[in-house]
Amino acid sequence: MAFRIDYVARETGQNLRRNWLLALATIVVVAVSLAALGGVFLIKSGIERAFAKWSDDVSFIVYMNASAPQDQIDSVGRQLEDNPQVASVDYFDRTESYELFKRIFEKDDPEIIDTIKPEDLPTSFRVRPRNSDADVVQELAKTFEPKPGVYSVEFPSEQIRQIQRGAERATTVLLGVSVVLIAASSVLIFIAIQTAVFSRRREIEVMRLVGATNWYIRTPFLIEGLVQGLFGALIAGSGLGVLTALVVGDEGWLNDTILEKFAWTTANLTGTLLWLGLIGVGVGVVSSFVATAWYLKD
Amino acid sequence: MIKLEHVTKVYKNDHTALADANVDIERGEFVFLVGPSGSGKSTFIRLLNRQETATSGKVWVAGKEIGEMPNWKVPQLRRNIGYIFQDYKLLPNKTVEENVAFALEAIGRPRQNIKTQVPAILELVGLAHKAKNRPDELSGGEQQRVSIARAFVNRPLILLADEPTGNLDPATTVGIMKLLDRINRTGTTVVMATHDRGIVDVMRRRVIELESGRIVRDQARGVYE
């Protein structure tokens, strides 16, 4: 059976007009929820960028000289692996170091990426000791500083680790709150669509008796839910775009402040916007599908 | 065209609405279902377009056993069956022609098709001059004509009518019956539930009488009682 686009557009438009206040409220709540979720995504990317060097599994990093010969590198690697206090060692060759370097500098100094080649970068060992006590780690790390070929040994101070842990907990809580908000918006879309279905129950009864398929009856409602989710996502996305320009742009609020390292990138923003669009549309379509399924059971 | 074989319908509250009904209706017949309220007339009609399914027995419509029919095939069945309500069920925010067009739009008919069919059917039911009016501007008889136009615009093989004249005065009822008779003469099978003694006695068509869910009389060219 051919779908008539003008029919679907007209019916969807009528639904939205008839319950415009509820539709508007729904769109606003969807927008707020998605903006909150997107905000959490962006803050999380900022934090990840700031702490990119320090993942949970690494307690200190041994940087080799860029010019260190292979036998020195192998020797340090063996000594690390043989050390009974070391739980595991990850070797970052030049390519991996370059990838990490790009991640760290792509926002602040994109020019620098062009001037550096993988072979200019030192290789490094990421080391996880058995004992995570800061003093023990520091003691262990220091023993590798004077080895031949070692450029430097870096380890995070306890404060950085605490900040990192605190930030991660905060984003987890915020993520939880946004998930609750998203759930609330899907309930609201569900109610909006149920209201639309209810106010059109006579039409639906007639349609069923003249032989309209469930999909034909359902489509305008699905599009209505999709429109609400999509508009919510568009508003949330615009908000986050403005926020990004204000906060992390060249003249952004974070520039030259202590929080500058936590700035996210436009690439982070693009990724987040794509996710928001998908989530908005998904929440809209799924909620309205469930709402119509109640009425269209045979 | 329509065949019921030992059809029984028991509702969830254990009320038996139809008990062991056996009926054979030929193509082009006009059949009155008569009997007191609660005798099973509406259930009989609702079984024919799968608004209800039989608890036991088989229901054949247009060559197909519809009790076993999967749900996704039901819309196709209903496109061959027009349905007329006692309370018309017109859409108050649409005009007469939009109400009729709605039945074709709902099954995805192309616009060009609708443009030619709707005026033709409004002509047939005598309402071409009210095409732009809304239902609340029409009399009860006119509203029922719109409802008939909507049910018949897709030229179904069967027309089901559940007390179509129940809300109308005798003079208007005659007009509606003339219209249904005209539609029947095009070869459409008509099954009509009614309480209206006058029209059954005047029209002298087949009469199936129900009492507490049982068929107590099936008479060609019958009267109400």
Average pLDDT rounded to a whole number, residues B38-61: 93
Read off the pLDDT of each residue in B162-190 and give the average, rounded to a whole number: 92
Distance from CA of A7 to the nearest CA of B (A): 7
Q: A206 and B71 in contact by Cβ < 8 A?
A: no
pLDDT at A135: 72
Q: Is B45 exposed, middle or buried (0-12, 13-18, 19+ CB in 10 A)?
A: buried
Query: For residue A269, which of A235, A251, A243 has the smallest C-alpha distance?
Result: A243
Q: Nearest CA of chain B to the CA of A198: how many Å?
A: 14
Which residues of A are less than 8 Å from B73 in CB distance? Answer: none
- What span, in angstroms and rounded, lies between the C-alpha atoms of B70 and B81? 17
Could you tell me the pTM of the whole model? Answer: 0.72
**A205 reaches B (C-beta below 8 A):** yes
Identity at A206, one-letter amino acid code: V
> What is d(CA A196, CA A221) in angstroms, rounded to the nearest whole number?
8
Please give the backbone phi and psi of residue A56, each rounded to the nearest 5 degrees, phi first: -60, -30
Angle (CA) B104-B106-B110 rounded to 5° is: 50
Q: Would you call A207 an interface residue with chain B, using a CB distance cutoff of 8 Å?
A: yes
pLDDT at position A119 is 77
Which residue do the tokens 């196709």 mark? B76
A203 touches chain B (CB under 8 A): yes
For residues A161 and B50, the model is more confident at B50
> How many angstroms separate the CA of residue A167 from the nearest CA in chain B?
53
pLDDT, position A51: 73
Token pair 């939009």 is found at B98
Q: In the predicted model, is pLDDT for residue B43 greater than 90? A: yes
Question: Do B110 and A4 make contact, defined as CB atoms within 8 angstroms?
Answer: yes
- Please report, rounded to a whole number, the percentage of residues in chain B having pLDDT higher than 90: 80
Contact A211 B107 (CB under 8 A): yes
- What pLDDT is stored for residue A125 in this prediction? 86
d(CA B40, CA B185): 27
Asked whether residue B23 carries a pLDDT value surpassing 80, the answer given is: yes
Of residues A1 and B210, the one with the higher pLDDT is B210
The total of other beta-carbon atoms located within 10 Å of residue B44's CB is: 29
CA angle, B172 then B176 then B179, to 5°: 145
Q: Does A5 touch chain B (CB under 8 A)?
A: no
Q: Which stretches of chain A score pLDDT less than 50?
A: 1
CB contact under 8 A, A211 and B77: yes
- Record: contact A206-B102, CB cut-off 8 A: yes
Give contacts of B89 with chain A, Cβ < 8 Å.
202, 205-206
pLDDT of residue A298: 52
Handedness of CA A10, A11, A14, A20 (dihedral sign): negative
Contacts of B88 in chain A (CB under 8 A): none
Residues of A in contact with B77 (CB under 8 A): 211
| Average pLDDT of the segment spanning B30-50 | 93
Model confidence pLDDT, tens digit, residues A140-197: 888 888 888 888 887 766 666 777 778 888 888 988 998 998 999 999 999 989 988 8
Instruction: Select the residue from B46, B68, B78 to test the A interface by mutation, using most A Cβ atoms within 10 A.
Output: B78
Instruction: Compare A120 and B220 and report the one with higher pLDDT.
Output: B220
As a whole number, mean pLDDT of residues B172-196 equals 93
Integer angstrom CA distances of residue B160 from B49, B84, B120: 9, 6, 21
Quote the minimal CA–CA distance from B150 to chain A in Å.
Answer: 9
Higher pLDDT, A241 or B223: A241
**What number of C-beta contacts closer than 8 Å exist between A and B?**
62
Listed in sequence order, the residues at least 6 apart from A220 whose beta carbon sits closer than 8 Å to its beta carbon are: A8, A11, A12, A15
- Edge to edge, the sheet with strand B64-65 lists B16-25, B2-10, B56-61, B64-65
User: Per the CB < 8 Å rule, is B89 touching A202?
Assistant: yes
Q: Do A210 and B79 touch (CB under 8 A)?
A: yes
Chain B: give the shortest CA distance to residue A222, in Å: 16
Task: Give the pLDDT confidence score for residue A55 in this predicted structure.
Answer: 56
Q: B107 and A210: CB-CB below 8 Å?
A: yes
**pLDDT value at position A158?**
63
